[in-house]
Structure 1
Amino acid sequence: MPQSTSVRYGSWLKAPVRSQLGTISLVGSIKDTRGINPQSMRILGSYALILIRSGKGRYQDANGRDLSFKAGDAILVFPDLPHAYGPNASRKWEQIYTVFNGPQFELLQGAGILNPANPIWSLGAVDHWQHRLEEIFQVSPPQGELSSARTLGRFSALLSDMAATQAETKLSPGDAWLGESMHLLAEPSSQGWLTPQEAAQRVGLSYENFRKLFAKRVGESPGAFQKRRRIEHACAMIYQSSRSLKDLADEHGFCDVFHFSKVFSQVMGESPSAYRKRVNGS
C-alpha cells in the first residue's frame, strides 16, 4: 500500500485477528467525534492505541494525569484504568485506533513498554506511523493461527518501535547518565543485580539526587523501575524454561521464594505459578 497523507475512514478489519498470543479486535479511523466526557470516565476493558492524525485535545485518567495531545502523538489506553480524552473546542480531529488484548500485550506492560505512567507518546512523523499501521492491517489480514500470530507480532514490534521513539525524544545529550543508569538497573552484572544506590554511584550522583532526577524523567523511582525489570526477566525465564521458583528467586536477587512471589504478584497481578500455567496453556 503506497504511503499517503489520506486515510480510509471506518473499520479496517472485517473480523478480529485472534491467536493464542492475543486478539486485535478493532482497527479503524474516525474524525470529529465528541470524545469522552471527563465527568464520566470510561473503562474500556482492553488496551487501545489512538494515533492522532490531526487536531489537539486533552487526556485525563483516574491516576490524576491531565495531559495535552496534538497531531503526531499517540494515546495509550489500559484495560482497567478509567480515562477520558477528546478534542479542544473546535472538535476538529482525526484518529486511527487499534483495540487489543491478551498475554502478548500483558508482557509488554510487564516489561514497561506499555506503561500507565506514560499514556501519551510524542512520535511526530504521523504519515510514517500511519503507513506502518496500514502495512500491518491491510484490507483483509490473513486468518489462521500462524498468520494471526504474525500480525500480532508485527503490531507488537510497532508498539516497541513507538515506545523507543518516545524514549529517544525525551533524552538530551546531557542525559547520558539516565541511559546508563537504566541499563545498569535493567540487566544483571556478572556479580548480580546492582542496587539503585550502586547505580547512582556508577553514574556519579548522590543517591538522593539520583532518585529524584530518575523519578522525574522516567515516571517512577529507580527501585520500582528495577523491580519491574527483574520480574520481566523472570517472566521470560518462566516462559522459556522449567526453572524452579527457588532458582528464579535466587537468580533475580530475592531473599527467598516468598518475597519473589509477593513482588511478582504485585507487578503482574498473579502469582508466578498462575502465570506459568497461563502462558504454558496448562
Structure 2
Amino acid sequence: MKAIHHLQLRSNCLYLGGEGNNAEKLSGGFYDHTFIPEFAGEYFRHKYFAITYILKGHGVFKDHCARSFDYREGDLVFRHADTPFFMSKCFREDGWLEFSAALPQSLSDALLAAGVLRKDLTFLSPGISPALLGMAEAYTDSLFCVNKNAGAAQAYAAILNFLDELARSTAPENFAGTPKEMGQLEQVRQLLDDVSDTTPLPLLARRIGMGYENFRKSFRRRFGLSPQEYRIQRRLDQADALLRHTRLSIKEIAGRLGYSDITAFSRQYRKFRRVPPSSGRDALPPAAGAAAFPGVPGR
C-alpha cells in the first residue's frame, strides 16, 4: 500500500452554470473514516454521476441493474445519475480511504452518448494504480484553482484522462499476467463453461493454486467479468437456447444447468433477464426442438 501513503486528505466543490438548484456540482477528493461513516448500507439515488475508487476498506455495492459486488481495495464503482444503488462500508483497523468524484449529469450524458461510458458499467477492478492515483490527485488539485472556470476545465481534462487510463488498464487484452497465470485462468474459464458444474469458486481457485481475491480480480481483468458473473452469463445463455429450441420443461432445464431447484433458477433468470423464463420459450412445432440444439435430447 505504499502508493497511498503520500495522499493528502482534501476535497472541494465547484458549482457551475447557475445558482441554487440550477447549478451543477463538480466535486471530489480523498476521504477517510473521519469524513465518511461506517454503515451497513441503504439505497440512494443521486442527481449526479459519481466515481468511487476504494483505497482502504471493503463492503457490498448493488447497482441499478440488480447486480451485487463484494468490493475491496483497488476496486472502483460508478454510480450513474438518477439510478438507485446500495453501498455498505466496512472499515479496516486503520480506517477507510477512498477517492471520489461527483460530476455534472450533463458531462456523464455526453460521455454516455460518445460511448466512453456505458450505463451497465458500474464496477471495475483496476487495483491500486499509481497512474490512476496521480490523475485523481490532478483532479482534486483542479478543484482548488482560484479561477473557477480554469479549475473546471482542468478537472474535466483530469477526469477524462482518469477514465482513459481506467479503460486501458482494465481492458481484458491488457491483462499483464504471467504465462502460468494466463493458463490457470483459461483452465478455470473452461471449467465454468460446463454449466452443470457447481464447484464453489473458492475451491476452483485453490485447485489452481491461487488465493480467492487474487483469482477473482485476475479473472475479471482477463475476461472482463468476475468468475461468478461469467458462470451466471454462461448458464443464462444456455437457458435461453434450451428454452427456445427444446421441449424440456423449465424444471428440467434448471436441473441441467446446476440449479438446486426451479425457484432458484427462475429467480436468477428474472433478476438478470427482467422477465420470467417462460417468456423466453418460443412456440415449437410438433416433434421439433431437439434437432435445433445438437447434443440435447428432446422429450
TM-aligned CA distance change 1:35 to 1:127, over 3 Å: farther
Q: Which amino acid aligns with 2:27?
A: L
Q: 1:155 aligns with which of 159, 163, 166?
A: 159
CA contact (8 A) 1:10 1:28 kept: yes
Q: Secondary structure at the match of 1:80?
A: coil
Which residue does 2:62 correspond to in 1? 60
Report the alpha carbon displacement of residue 4 of structure 1 after superposing the two structures with TM: 5.8
In 1, Cα distance between the equivalents of 2:115 and 2:144?
31
Q: C-alpha deviations, 1:138-179, integer Å up to 9, x for none?
A: 1722524355224312312212221232224786989xxxxx
Q: Which amino acid aligns with 1:105?
A: S
Larger relative contact order (C-alpha < 8 A, sep ≥ 6)?
Answer: 1
Q: Secondary structure at the match of 1:42?
A: strand
In 2, Cα distance between the equivalents of 1:19 and 1:131?
28
- Name stretches of at least 5 consecutive residues in structure 2 with no aligned partner: 184-229, 235-299
Which residue does 2:47 correspond to in 1? 45
Which residue does 1:165 correspond to in 2? 169
In 1, Cα distance between the equivalents of 2:115 and 2:233?
16
Q: 2:16 aligns with which of 15, 18, 31?
A: 18
In 1, Cα distance between the equivalents of 2:40 and 2:78?
17
Which residue does 2:81 correspond to in 1? 79
In 1, Cα distance between the equivalents of 2:173 and 2:57?
21
CA contact (8 A) 1:136 1:155 kept: yes
CA contact (8 A) 2:55 2:98 kept: yes
Asked whether 1:27 is paired with 2:31, we answer: no
Q: Secondary structure at the match of 1:105?
A: helix
In 1, Cα distance between the equivalents of 2:172 and 2:17?
32
70-79 or 104-113, which deviates more? 104-113
Q: Which amino acid aligns with 2:126?
A: L
- Name stretches of at least 5 consecutive residues in structure 1 with no aligned partner: 175-212, 218-282
In 1, Cα distance between the equivalents of 2:4 and 2:31?
17
CA RMSD of aligned residues (A): 3.7
In 2, Cα distance between the equivalents of 1:147 and 1:34?
29
Q: Which amino acid aligns with 1:101?
A: P
TM-aligned CA distance change 1:60 to 1:86, over 3 Å: same
In 1, Cα distance between the equivalents of 2:47 and 2:59?
23
TM-aligned CA distance change 1:23 to 1:89, over 3 Å: closer
Report the alpha carbon displacement of residue 35 of structure 1 after superposing the two structures with TM: 5.0
In 2, Cα distance between the equivalents of 1:147 and 1:29?
17
CA contact (8 A) 2:50 2:102 kept: yes
Which residue does 2:5 correspond to in 1? 5
54-63 or 140-149, which deviates more? 140-149
Report the alpha carbon displacement of residue 98 of structure 1 after superposing the two structures with TM: 0.9
159-168 or 49-58, which deviates more? 159-168
Q: Which of 1 and 2 has greater Rg?
A: 2
Q: Secondary structure at the match of 1:137?
A: helix
Asked whether 1:117 is paired with 2:120, we answer: yes
Which residue does 1:136 correspond to in 2? 139
In 1, Cα distance between the equivalents of 2:64 and 2:174?
24
In 1, Cα distance between the equivalents of 2:63 and 2:4?
33
TM-score by length of 2: 0.48
Asked whether 1:108 is paired with 2:111, we answer: yes
Q: C-alpha deviations, 1:108-138, integer Å up to 9, x for none?
A: 1233432332211111134432222112321
In 2, Cα distance between the equivalents of 1:105 and 1:142?
25
In 1, Cα distance between the equivalents of 2:86 and 2:174?
24
Query: How high is the sequence identity, in percent, across the aligned residues?
Result: 15
Q: C-alpha deviations, 1:199-234, integer Å up to 9, x for none?
A: xxxxxxxxxxxxxx9x959xxxxxxxxxxxxxxxxx
In 2, Cα distance between the equivalents of 1:135 and 1:170?
25
TM-aligned CA distance change 1:35 to 1:160, over 3 Å: farther
